[in-house]
Amino acid sequence: MNGAAEGIRAVLIAGPTASGKSALAVAIARRFGGTVVNADSMQVYADLRTLTARPTAEEEAVVPHRLYGHVDGAVNHSAMRYAADVATVLAELAQSGSLPVIVGGTGLYFKALTEGFSAIPPVPEAVRTAFRERVGDQETGSLHAELCALDPVMGERLRPSDRMRIMRALEVKIATGRSLASFQGERRPGPLDGMPLLKLFVSPEREEVRRRIDARFETMMAQGALAEVAALRARRLDPLLPVMRAHGVPGLIAHLDGAMGLDEAIARGQADTRAYAKRQMTWFRHQMPDWQAVAPEAALEWALRALAPAG
């Protein structure tokens, strides 16, 4: 792998949004002949290149990039599907000898790669579509009552206001005849399970992250984010799809619908992203204590030392 430390099978870089982790991944991949692999649940979607801060075409030309923008917005992409995609990419990179540098801010994606995931079968799109057409704008409390009748275990576990998880539990019950709870104790190994890995968490000062988020959102607006969201809105996709809930999308759609001023929509997008970054930092700190936390300005030097061949 072009001089990387012997035994390291992949470099994993996580961190809050706007922490500079993507530039770090490119620098490491460039130094060691690697390939940058996406681990951001929104950057998989083709519809939102600008608003999700996907790498530009110029950045992608520096080193190979994989799993960016390869999923249509109408698809409800999952961590399980993501792990399967990464397994395919890893097999290809092993053949070429390219070091995988996996970067993103979606903790569940990293968990799926390193620890595996519940063996929940994918819900067929036909079942999902029929279910969502049937429930339409049905009140969340009514959906929870339906779940309690069909799957009392999950009905007891989930809050009556948690619409997304209630719908997920109902879809699994309808599609498989089994409670979602019955799958949660069964795990499948992830594609990186048990492998020697370099795991790095880029941990900037919170105020610096807030400043970067606000500035980046303004830059994305200047680069055409509103037109991008307008094109997405024209598709009339299910508002519960992940792509429709990407940070900035709800507010900008409300603006396009005439329900919100542009300044207010921008402020909402910035606030939602700041809140998400705070959750990311808390989640990684509690869920992934074995990752090395490094300040952005020291991250590259630390990674280069860790990857340097012995002797």
Q: What is the pLDDT of residue 311?
A: 55
d(CA 278, CA 270): 12
pLDDT tens-digit map of 234-290: 999 999 899 999 999 999 999 999 999 999 999 999 999 999 999 999 999 888 889
Q: What is the pLDDT of residues 99-116, one digit of tens each?
A: 999 999 999 999 999 988
* Side-chain-side CA neighbours of residue 192 (13 Å): 25
List, in order of start, the domains of the chain with CATH numbers: 10-118+188-307 (3.40.50.300), 125-185 (1.10.20.140)
Q: How far apart are CA 248 and CA 141, in angstroms?
A: 27
Query: Residue 243 to residues 237, 239, 257: CA-CA distances in angstroms?
Result: 9, 8, 18
Cα separations in angstroms, 112 against 80, 116, 287: 7, 4, 13
Report pTM: 0.82
pLDDT in the model for residue 240 = 85
The model's confidence at residue 310, banded by pLDDT at 50, 70 and 90, is: low
225 vs 123, more confident: 225
pLDDT of 140-188, one tens digit each?
A: 999 999 999 999 999 999 999 999 889 999 999 999 999 998 887 777 7
